[in-house]
Amino acid sequence: MLAMTLPSEIETGPSRRPDQPPAGAHMLDRHIRAAASRVLQAREHVFFEGDPIHHVYQIVKGTVCLYMTLPDGRRQIVDFAHAGDFIGLGESGEHSIAAQASTLTKLRCLPAGALHEVARHDPQVGVQLYRALSDQLAAARNLLLTVGRRSATERLATLLLALSRRNERMGADPARISLPMSRAEIADFLSLTIETVSRSFTKLRQSGTIDLIQSTLVLIRDRRALEQLCADEPAAGR
């Protein structure tokens, strides 16, 4: 198992500036900066179901899909992790889910033991991890609602709108969505088949809701219609 990082080692991070705040507000950032990083090609795995847990990872760049499988091969993607997100949080012993890069991805590797040790001593870090976990719980439950109760087209609309909103938050064009995942991944995320995903794209295109510039590049033409389909919030004052 991994020993606690010594304070001196914390300083290792590249590009630290001396004007740091007094409290532990950025302790986590520091540890992350000090961590080893790892680059994965699309389709490479970060870890598999059942692997012993060594690290918690933070996505620096790219998209990672987290999935579970049944023995007969049926697969359910339970989350897509994007830049900034943590994966492997809250697990102990061995991984209960697998993580696979969807695109070229860069990760920071945080030794799990050390991270939890830090969290134990530094409430700030603990709170940060707690929040991250809460967000993942909320995401899982939202996906559950989508998969359990929405139709195929509604599911796709929900995904597109989520990606659009993500663009918005990141300062990118919310009407132009570059899909970081394949049809197969979308299918396994939305609990559909690739054929149904494809047909749903076609339906949205034919209804004028979206444009498909390429199979991986979507333009939202009618956001209202998309929101109507998701119907997650009574889309009132927007």
The residues binding its own copies (CB under 8 A) are 2-3, 68, 70-72, 74-76, 78, 89-92, 96-97, 117, 119-121, 123, 126-127, 129-131, 133-134, 136-138, 140-145, 147-150, 191, 231-234
How far is C-alpha 60 from the geometric centre of its chain's CA atoms? Answer: 11
Q: Which does 117 bind (CB under 5 to 8 A by kind): DNA, its own copies, none?
A: its own copies
Strand ordering across the sheet containing 45-47: 45-47, 98-101, 64-69, 75-81
Q: How far is the CB of 104 from its own copies (least distance, A)?
A: 26
Residues 31, 55, 95, 183: which binds DNA (CB under 7 A)? Answer: 183
Q: Which does 232 bind (CB under 5 to 8 A by kind): its own copies, DNA, none?
A: its own copies
Using CB under 7 A as the binding rule, the residues of this chain from 194 to 223 that contact DNA are: 194-199, 201-202, 212, 214-216
**9 — phi, psi (to 5°)?**
-70, -25
**Cβ-based nearer residue to DNA, 124 or 198:** 198
**Cβ-based nearer residue to its own copies, 24 or 37:** 24
| CA–CA distance, 215 with 198 (Å, rounded to integer) | 9
| CA–CA distance, 154 with 227 (Å, rounded to integer) | 9
Single-letter residue type at 208 = G
Q: Which residue blocks in 150-207 are alpha helix, DSSP H? A: 152-170, 183-190, 194-206
